[in-house]
Amino acid sequence: MTTWQNNRAARDVRIAAGAGLARGKVVEARDATRLLEAVIRPGDRVCLEGDNQKQADLLSQALLAVDLSRVNDLHMVQSGVVLPEHLDLFDRGVAKRLDYAYSGPQSARIARMLFGGKIELGAVHTYLELFARYFIDLTPQVALIAAVSADREGNLYTGPNTEDTPTVVEATAFKDGIVIAQVNEIAETVPRVDIPSDRVHFIVKSDKPFFVEPLFTRDPAAITEGQILTAMLAIKGIYAPYGVQRLNHGIGFSTAAIELLLPTYGERLGLKGKIATHFALNPHPALIPAIESGWVRQIHSFGSEVGMDEYIRARSDVYFTGPDGSLRSNRAFCQTAGLYACDMFIGSTLQIDLQGNSSTVTTSRIAGFGGAPNMGADARGRRHPSEPWLKAGAEAAPDGAALLRRGRKLVVQIGETFGDKNVPLFVEKLDAIELAEKLNLELAPIMIYGDDVTHIVTEEGVANLLLCRTAREREQAIRGVAGYTDVGRRRDHGMVARLRERGVIRRPEDLGINPLDADRSLLAARSIKDLVRWSGGLYAPPSKFRNW
Amino acid sequence: MEDLRFQHRVRTRAGGTRQSAIVGVVASGNLEVLVERVLPDAECALDIKTAAIGFGEVWTAVVGDFVERYSPGGLRFSINDGGARPDTVSLRLAQAVRLIAENGQ
Amino acid sequence: MTLDDIITSLFPDGHEVRSDKGVLLGSATLRSGDSMLVLGVADRTALGVDEALRLSGHVLRSIGRDSGPILVLVDSDSQRMSKRDELLGLNEFLAHLAKVLIHADMNGRPTIGLLYGHSAAGALLATGLATRVLVGLPGADPAVMDLPSMAKVTKLSMEALEEKAKSTPVFAPGLSNLAQMGAVHMIWSNTTSLADQLEALLADMPAARDGRDTLGKVRGGRLKAAEIAERVRDLALQAR
Amino acid sequence: MTAPLKDITPAERARSTSFYEASARTRLELLLDAGSFVEFIGPEQREVSPHLKIFDLPEQFDDGIVVGHGRLDGAQVFVAAQEGRFMGGAFGEVHGAKLTGLLRAARQIGSIPVLILFDTGGVRLQEANAGELAIAEIMRAVMEARSSGVKVIGLIGGRSGCYGGGGLIAGCCSALAVSEPGRIAVSGPEVIETNRGVEEFDSRDRALVWRTMGGKHRRLLGAADVFAADNVQDFREAALELLGLVGPLGLERLKAEQERLADRLRRYGACEDAVDIWTAEGIVHAETVPELPADQFIALADRIGRTSRDAR
């Protein structure tokens, strides 16, 4: 006779095996490894929670310490490969196969391990893509998650850094999986219930708070004149003419410069209220002066940012907060918002080729995608109109019938022609392609495809790729803003001049910008301390950013 | 270190009366430009000492564009470069011309 | 030579110099019968706030008494590199010691430094380099900056640094380099009586004016300092 | 924070210019009466370090220090400003000799004060012996100048702080003004960490670095006399205030300094952290001192009342 509840029965056996180590749902930290040995089976799909910000660090250490005869050959399905332990799992043989989205700090080691065959790679995803697969073909059998606090029943408060947790728990708990949470404290009551207790099977009390990386803090003191010029070009050359109100910013210094120019340069241009009012964005400290100056109406966030909690709590008109007052972030929803409800993505990258494809991969590093491709892609399923979207669509296809013409999302790559150590931003061939050839990948790891990119901004000017009609025009438009890189110096001067006449390329002087005005005195805040002052003392930056 | 030297014939004399000016600082990714009004009106020269070896072609292009754009006649530029990017070089050169174009000593 | 050998050879007519955890305090009798104030750092002791304050106090207490010229013996580590010392303001304590020595020297209490062992960085500035005449003994091994640390910062190999050190005294450790720079006025012999050499020096003390840059120029170790200082001085005097 | 761009007076410009961020030349331009600065051995003389080429390193035409004279509220002053971004503002042979020469002139004249705008990591490694000796000569020259009645005022608020021998020179000055980001110490954070281990001193814990060596702690200790907000105008006003306050150096001051430092060791010698010292000073909620805005901090420091101007 066919049985239809095998998975549920198997889950109950696992829970029973773990229950011996628990009082109620609570397991002591010292028993965490024994708990994992009890509930995890060889070959399981395991989601070890961790992304570019928060990390279930205690549980990753516990998993690393398991008895290999009981737990091995796991298939890790996780957003972030960020902690050294995440890769130690593969070195030790606890895990074998990997599907992930982001690997920032481990990007060099993960590349070595892929070459060395230590890791069987499924695929590198965007966040939203990996989340989607949790519900189709990569559903975890066990999820190891991180929360701020739990009550005795197992209701969880995930706090400002809620991030991926609801998505991971949804996919696991409702498909007969086991959810184990590490928490910083066990309280009588939690400030708010982010995860209801019936989805949580075990709780491990950690003796120190889970690790959170301050990934979105850019010290204004490090912003250069070149970045300021580039930011001025973006504001005057793109934000203003398209009237971009709903948008997402990348995490680089150029976009931080834009955020800090809004209350000064943007104000002088009379753009307040007309641009940059609604964001899908982490709580960037650099946006504080714009918020305080009344520029920003609403921000939904993927995660939180270290030191911003009190500021957010005090600015609930702007941020999404729970009944307890603290930020509620949600990566899956914010990624969806960035994909469908924003008219612009603007961010930096490491390499751009002649077609406009961009990548943050270098031959020795595989940093993964994170969320940028979801933001930096035209959403083909979008149906609601907006002015910037329609205008961009019209520029791309001026001859199409207006009522049938798709709009276009503005996907802007911003950067300086040369990056750190004089490495050029523009290349003839992306390192990502070389890497794909070396690793025999079926797809090169492209962050943003050239056909999605609408504008490229450098200190040399703005290239509007929507206005290019041929591949050759597109290539010359890119060369035309590539400055003194090899790519830039090999431009066709005549064609670039014609593109400029058509407004495909706009130089600083075409926009009425004098590069000599790009001065740090334009920044609304020139130091982290200035940001603290703007926040009225509510922003508490982490120690590594202080000079007081 | 690498030494580079450029000499150009230019259309017009640089404006202003200042005899010399200095901008920038020698640090990683930065440079100082000392500009002096010491040459005949139709000439300009740039003497560069750079910590970044092998960028002669890029310098040629940067200097060419700069001279074309500003016509800094009569000026000698002496540059100590800590490996600045071309955009920074262009900016400092422009700043130096702006400063020496002021009136004064 | 050990410290005891040195003190015995310097002061055959007697002394009361005591070492307490590396801090030397006391006085001694010169050939002439006059006394000399003695202080210093021994046993390669690091100079921290406590040590510096005891040394400066010793000098200040002697002022106004007929306690003669001042000898500073130096075999120290660097300044003490600790959180506590910096928390308490080590820079002030070291500066204070130097100031007291310089003040005494300018006010009738000529100072002589005797570098007989190691010294470095802030410790050397506050002791030997704050005296009017710094004497080296053979075997002394001062090091403003040690080569391994330099190699780390400059990212050059030790071999490369040692090679460069052959052509210039300007950065590498060692008594002869410091002598060539004009920091060490003379190197005494350790085979003849130190008392004789001290007597000769006291009988022929150079003027209190700081002539170390000129000395460095004459010895070919520091070719620019004296000239630059002189030019700035002249320009500043004209600007009055 | 930035005022909207418009034509502004020099004082307004000085007020809106961060001392920490400004170059040595900009600091001098805005510190002194407008247009009054005249440089000695300026960059066009190209008196560069003769030693950097041994290491194949780039030179700077002024060797990282600007010296000259100008006017402060109409009165003549000598000034020296270190450029903290060129080799960390470190002392080399030429760099040091320029300051030595300036101090020697001041001594000869006796009545023109000297302002030193420190911004230095200490001795320049590539010419360590020359740099160390230059510092020794400067210390001697400061003492000789002060003994002749010259006021030597140190201003500290640059990005390289005032470290190594720079800290010792600062200790020789008649008085110091310091801002919050300014740091004064001998050993740098990394050096302490290397020598003592990260458990004693974590150099990446910048809050720890600043509360151990930073401007607020130095002001509360009495190691600096005036606390300036981080803008050039505040430093200008601090310099003017100090020039009006300090008197000539003599034995009594050195004795008073001995007592001042001995008192510090007695009171705080057993303290483990700056917060313990501030608590011992009677500050409630001492842990919040780093967060205090400049005006509140100045009021607090004045209430504690530790200064050293009669004891240094």
DSSP H helix total and E strand total for chain B? 2, 5
Asked if D216 has any chain A CB less than 8 Å from its own CB, the reply is yes
Q: Is the pTM of this model over 0.80?
A: yes
CATH classification of the domain holding B33: 3.30.230
Q: Does C163 touch chain D (CB under 8 A)?
A: no
Number of domains in chain B: 1
Contacts of A225 in chain B (CB under 8 A): 88, 91
Cβ distance A547 to D21 less than 8 Å, yes or no, reads no
Residue A290: alpha-carbon gap to chain centroid:
21
Q: Determine how many CB atoms are found less than 10 A away from the CB of residue A320.
A: 16
Residues A399-415: what's their mean pLDDT?
Answer: 95
Cβ distance D2 to A264 less than 8 Å, yes or no, reads: yes
Locate all alpha helices (DSSP H) within chain D, ordered by sequence. 10-15, 24-31, 93-109, 128-147, 165-172, 189-196, 206-213, 215-221, 232-245, 251-268, 274-280, 294-304
- Sort out which chain A residues have CB atoms less than 8 A from D20's CB and list them: 527, 547
B-chain residues near A459 (CB < 8 A): 87
Phi, psi (degrees; rounded to nearest 5) at A147: -140, 165
Question: Nearest by CB to B87, which of A418, A489, A516?
Answer: A418
Q: Answer whether residue D280 is part of any domain.
A: no
Is C136 inside a domain boundary?
A: yes
pLDDT at D7 over 80: no
* Contact at CB, D86 and B25, closer than 8 angstroms: yes
User: Does the residue D301 lie in any domain?
Assistant: no
Nearest residue on chain A to B88, alpha-carbon basis: A226
Q: Which ipTM was obtained for this model? A: 0.92
Looking at the structure of chain D, the number of domains it has is 1
The number of C-beta contacts closer than 8 angstroms across C and D is: 283
D47-70 core/surface letters (b: 16 or more CB in 10 A; e: else) = bbbbbbebbebbbbbbbbbbbbbb
Locate all alpha helices (DSSP H) within A79-138, ordered by sequence.
Answer: 84-92, 107-115, 127-134
Q: Please, are residues C239 and D38 in contact by the beta-carbon 8 Å criterion?
A: yes
Buried b (16+ CB within 10 A) or exposed e, D101-127: bbbbbbbbbeebbbbbbbbbbbbbbbb
- Give the number of other CB atoms < 10 A from CB of residue A441: 17
pLDDT for position D1 = 41
Assigned token pair, D243: 């020039």
Query: Where would I find the H helices in A440-513?
Result: 471-480, 486-489, 493-501
Q: Do C87 and C50 belong together in one domain? A: yes
Q: Which two tokens stand for residue C125?
A: 């500035």
Are residues C116 and C9 part of one domain? yes
Name which residue leads in pLDDT, A107 or D117.
D117
Chain A contact set for B88 (CB, 8 A)? 224-226
Q: Report the gap between the CA of D21 and the closest CA in chain C (Å).
A: 24
Q: Whose structure tokens read 């391990």?
A: A113
Task: Determine the Cα–Cα distance for residues D17 and C236; give it in Å rounded to an integer.
Answer: 28
Asked if A226 lies within 8 A of B88 by C-beta distance, the reply is yes
Query: Neighbours of A (≥3 Cβ pairs closer than 8 A)?
Result: B, D
A253 at interface of D, judged by CB pairs closer than 8 A: no
Contact at CB, C96 and D258, closer than 8 angstroms? yes
pLDDT(A280) > 70: yes
Do C23 and C82 share a domain, yes or no?
yes
pLDDT of residue D2: 42
Asked if residue C152 and residue C88 are part of one domain, the reply reads: no
Buried b (16+ CB within 10 A) or exposed e, A454-466: bbbbbbbbbbbbb
**Total tally of structural domains belonging to chain C:** 2
Q: pLDDT, tens digit, for every residue of D90-143?
A: 999 999 999 999 999 999 999 999 999 999 999 999 999 999 999 999 999 999
Range of the domain at D12: 5-184+224-249
- Residue B105 falls within a domain, yes or no? no
Report how far Cα A167 is from the mean position of its chain's Cα atoms.
16
Same domain? C118 vs C219: no
Kindly tell me if the per-residue pLDDT of B105 is higher than 70: no
Residue of A nearest to D203 (CA): A544
**Residue B29 within a domain:** yes
Instruction: Dihedral sign for Cα A43, A47, A52, A54, please.
Output: negative
| pLDDT score for B104 | 66
Contact B81 D58 (CB under 8 A): yes
Summary count for chain C: helices (H), strands (E): 11, 7
The distance of Cα A281 from the centroid of its chain, to the nearest Å, equals 9
Residue C171 near residue C145, CB atoms below 8 Å: yes
- CA atoms of C66 and A161, how far apart (whole Å): 74
Among D42, D58, D83, select the one facing B80 at the smallest CB separation: D58
Q: Which of A358, A366, A317, A422 is nearest to A124 (CA)?
A: A366
Q: Give the A:B interface size as CB pairs under 8 Å.
A: 40
Q: Which amino acid is at D229?
A: A
Q: Do chains C and B touch (3 or more CB pairs under 8 A)?
A: no
Q: Which of B85, B90, B95 sits opposite A422 (nearest CB)?
A: B85
**Do residues A521 and A454 lie in contact, with contact meaning Cβ atoms separated by under 8 Å?**
no
More confident residue, A365 or A333: A333
The angle subtended at Cα C111 by Cα C107 and Cα C117, nearest 5°, is 160
Asked if C157 and C65 sit in the same domain, the reply is no
Give A319-343 pLDDT, tens digit per residue.
999 999 999 999 999 999 999 999 9
Residues of D in contact with A544 (CB under 8 A): 204-206
How many angstroms away from the CA of A534 is the closest CA of chain D? Answer: 8
Chosen from D87, D187, D191 to mutate, greatest number of chain C CBs within 10 A: D187
Chain D: residue whose CA lies nearest to B36: D44
Residues 25-84 of B with CB under 8 A from D: 25-27, 30, 32, 34, 36, 49-51, 78, 80-82
Region of residue A370 (left: phi > 0; alpha: psi -120 to 50; beta: else): left
Which tokens is D257 given?
């300094």
Q: Specify the DSSP element, H or E, that contains C214.
A: helix C212-218
Specify the 3-state DSSP secondary structure of A105.
Answer: helix
Contact at 8 Å (CB) between A214 and A305?
A: yes
Mean pLDDT score, A356-384: 89
Q: Which domain holds residue C76?
A: 3-142+184-208
Lowest-confidence range among A100-114, A454-468, C42-56? Answer: A100-114
* Model confidence band, residue D5 (pLDDT cutoffs 50, 70, 90): very low
Instruction: Give alpha helix (H) positions in A279-386.
Output: 288-292, 309-314, 331-340, 372-375
Contact residues on chain D for B27, CB-CB shorter than 8 A? 85-86
Tell if the CB–CB gap between B25 and D61 is shorter than 8 Å: no
- Which of chain D's residues have a Cβ under 8 Å away from the Cβ of C49? 261, 265, 269
A–D touching, 3+ CB–CB pairs within 8 Å: yes
* Residues of chain C contacting residue D78, judged by C-beta atoms under 8 Å apart: 236
B44, B79 contact by CB (below 8 A): no
| Whether C56 and C94 share a structural domain | yes
Q: What mean pLDDT is predicted for residues A128-155?
A: 97
**Residue D244 domain-assigned?**
yes
Query: Are C224 and C121 members of one domain?
Result: no
Asked if D16 is an interface residue toward chain B (Cβ–Cβ < 8 A), one would say no
C-alpha dihedral sign at D166, D167, D172, D177: positive
**pLDDT tens digit string along D209-248?**
999 999 999 999 999 999 999 999 999 999 999 999 988 8
Q: Which two tokens stand for residue C185?
A: 């006025």
Is the pLDDT assigned to residue A298 strictly greater than 60?
yes
Residue pointed to by tokens 């800090």: A260
Are C227 and C164 members of one domain? Answer: yes
Same domain assignment for residues C161 and C92: no
**Which of C59, C82, C97, C125 best tests the D interface by mutation, with the highest count of D CBs <10 A?**
C125
Per-residue pLDDT, D3: 43
Distance from CA of D38 to the nearest CA of A (A): 26
Using a CB–CB cutoff of 8 Å, tell me whether D71 touches chain B.
no
- Report which residue type is found at A470: T
Closest-CA residue of D relative to C84 is: D272
Q: Does A537 contact D at CB distance below 8 Å?
A: yes
Whether A187 shows a pLDDT value over 90: the answer reads yes
Contact C228 D139 (CB under 8 A): no
Same structural domain for residues C233 and C115?
no
- Asked whether residue B42 is assigned to any structural domain, the reply reads yes
What CATH number does residue D169 fall under? Answer: 3.90.226.10
C230 in contact with chain D, both atoms CB, cutoff 8 A? yes
In chain C, positions 14-43, which contact chain D (CB-CB < 8 Å)?
Answer: none
Q: Which of A530, A543, A544 sits opposite D1 (nearest CB)?
A: A530
Residue D53 included in any domain: yes
DSSP symbols for C127-170: TGGGSSEEEE-TT----SS-HHHHHHHHT--HHHHHHHHHH-SS
Residue B54 lies in a domain: yes
| Domain match, C195 and C226 both | no
* CA A417 from centroid of its chain's CA atoms: 23
Residue C177, in any domain of the structure? no
- Residues of B with Cβ-Cβ distance to A516 under 8 angstroms: 91, 94-95, 98
Which has the closest alpha carbon to C54: C44, C69, C71, C40?
C40
Full domain range(s) for residue B17: 2-100
A212-241 pLDDT, tens digit per residue, is 888 899 999 999 999 999 999 999 999 999
Residue D239: phi and psi, rounded to 5, are: -65, -45
Asked if the Cβ–Cβ distance from D104 to C229 is below 8 Å, we say yes
Q: Which residues of D touch A267 (CB under 8 A)?
A: 4
Q: Which of A264, A530, A547 is closest, CB to CB, to D206?
A: A547
Residues near A256 by Cβ (< 8 Å), separated by ≥ 6? A218, A220, A223, A227, A284, A286
% of residues, chain C, pLDDT over 90: 91
CATH number of the structural domain spanning residue C124: 3.90.226.10
The pLDDT of residue D4: 44
Number of residues assigned to chain A:
548
- The answer, yes or no, to whether residue A159 has pLDDT greater than 70, is yes
- Which chain D residues are Cβ-neighbours of A268 within 8 angstroms? 4-5
Beta-carbon separation of D187 and C86 below 8 A? yes
Single-letter code of the amino acid located at D163? Y
Of A469-473, B101-105, D140-144, D308-312, the least confident: B101-105
In this complex, the residue of B25, B36, B51 whose CB is nearest that of residue D85 is B25
- Helix, strand or coil for residue A319? strand
pLDDT of residue D6: 52
